[in-house]
Structures are given as structure tokens and as C-alpha cells.
Structure 1
């Protein structure tokens, strides 16, 4: 499903992405490159590669301002009613403009509509990830123990959030 939101008065178009457009591939490559450059240990980087993002259990949405991709987010089904946020990213130019909040709001609504009752995520513990952690907390995510196949890692912070059917789009 796609939609349009207006963070900060700017119309952002959000759509499901097939991961074929060069600008989207470049954004995802930038994301993985920065995760490996920012995180102290490669074993603590859990960003999905392109093949993993194209799996049947994953849906990817991209955010656009006109013809420019400004962000992305993925939702991976890890259990029948439990999803995991992956590859949450906004471009440097879009940061602080509400694009991340628009993507997060959209994916949570889509998850609720798909019957998910819980969404969880892993993010970095380093200062670089503090803005992301604040965004997740603002959206009601709370810290939790490692879930799925994750193990306790001092470089990771785990979050979860319950969903209700009322959060699904009408």
C-alpha cells in the first residue's frame, strides 16, 4: 500500500518498493556502509543485505519528495503476528524534516492492518543512534530483551511495541 503524508508541511509519498531503482539501491548501500563504519564490531551490524530485503517475509517502503528518494523502512515477519523493523533510513538532507516519523507511522499502520500485534527492532547503542532511539521511544517503543535469533550485545538496544487493530488505516 502507498500513501502520502506531510511532515513539516512537505508532501512525502510512501510506496512499497521492489528494490530495483538505482537511487533506492544507492540509499540501501549507503545505509549498510554507514552501519559498518559506525558500529565498533561487524558482528553487531544486523542490517539486511539486498537479497534478504527481497525475501518473501519482508516488505520495503520508500519515501519520496517528488522524484527524490528520502528514506526507507522494511518490515520483516518473524512470527505470525510479530514483525521486525529493518533498514530504517532517511537521507542526510531529509533528517529532521519528519520523514522518519512519517515512515514509522506508515509502517506501524500497515503492520496493524496486516494483523501484526507486535513490532520489535534492534538498533545501535552508540551515540550515533541516539536520534533513532528517541524516535522509537516517541512512538511508544520500549526497551526489551533480545528477541528472535538476537543475543545480548552491549552494542545493541532492543525495542518492542504492541499494536492494536485500531491503528490500522480505515
Structure 2
């Protein structure tokens, strides 16, 4: 139904979806609680970005950030509001998981917020086997954020 492509972030559709993502994160999070990467952060060598395409439209985006400790992080997952519930985010997440495993990561983690705006993403991650856990990397736990982890050595999918 759609095509998952590695994205170089040069296209206007991808940039617009990432801008929407950052704006939504800002509007649904307390000040100082947004850790979404901006365009320059997503262009770093340790980050790979994918987009889901339906015909000639970018309908979802997601990224993998490889961490120095042999783990990896899910970043910038967003589906365009006109294309939710088609499975694009799940397809990108599967690409992220497979790539993290191929690159030798032992665990895939993510940081996200709390509240109604985050519930669809949390449901996707939990359905795929991510479990609630401790803060990782440079993150600090707050009343707003939460951390999920997927052990890639135990994940048999």
C-alpha cells in the first residue's frame, strides 16, 4: 500500500511533516519537556530517517539514532493526520527495529510524553513489545515523560 524509503530530509513534504511534529510536541508538552530532534539533529551521522509514501505523498516519518553504549533510540515518529490508522507508523517502526538489530543494538529505547496526544503512539509501541522502563542516556524522569524499551536479543519477530 505504501513504500518505506530512507529519506535525506531534502524534500519539502518531509520537512513539513517534521515541522508539524515539532509544533505538536511543543503544544502537547510542558516547557522544557520536548526532546524531539530538529532538522540538524536528524541530519547527524548516527541518525537514519525513513518516510512512508503513499503514491507521491509522505504520510509518516520515523528515525533511528544509534547510541554510543550499543543501544539505539526511536526518534521523530509522526504520521500525517490525514493518514492515521493505515499502518504506516507500524511499517516504519518495523524498519527501525530491523535496522537497529542489523547494526548490533542490544536494546531499542524511546522517550515520550504522557496524555491523550501520546496515547496512539504508546499503543503502537506497547503492541510491538516495548515495555515501560527507566530513563536512559541523558534523559531524566519527570512527571510528564516516560521511557519504553525493547530488548532486541529477546524479540523474536
2:88 match: 99
1:158 and 1:165 mapped to 2: Cα distance?
Answer: 18
* Contact 1:71–1:100 (Cα < 8 Å) also in 2: yes
1:167 and 1:12 mapped to 2: Cα distance?
Answer: 25
2:13 match: 23
After TM superposition, the structure 1 stretch with the greater mean CA deviation from structure 2, 11-20 or 159-168, is: 159-168
1:105 and 1:50 mapped to 2: Cα distance?
Answer: 23
Compute the RMSD of aligned alpha carbons: 1.6
2:43 match: 54
1:56 and 1:22 mapped to 2: Cα distance?
Answer: 21
1:6 match: none
1:44-84 per-residue CA deviation (whole Å, 9 max, x = no partner) reads: 11110100000011110111011100001111111252000
Alignment of 1:30-109 (within 5 A): 30-39=20-29, 41-109=30-98
SS in 2 for 1:79: coil
1:90-130 per-residue CA deviation (whole Å, 9 max, x = no partner) reads: 11111111111111111111111111111000111112101
Q: 1:109 to 1:165 in 2, by over 3 A?
A: farther
2:5 and 2:109 mapped to 1: Cα distance?
Answer: 21
> Aligned residue pairs: how many?
157
1:103 and 1:164 mapped to 2: Cα distance?
Answer: 20
- Within the candidate set 110, 116, 123, 2:112 is matched to 123
Q: TM-score, normalised by structure 2?
A: 0.95
* Contact 2:60–2:77 (Cα < 8 Å) also in 1: yes
Q: 1:115 to 1:165 in 2, by over 3 A?
A: farther
* Contact 2:66–2:100 (Cα < 8 Å) also in 1: no
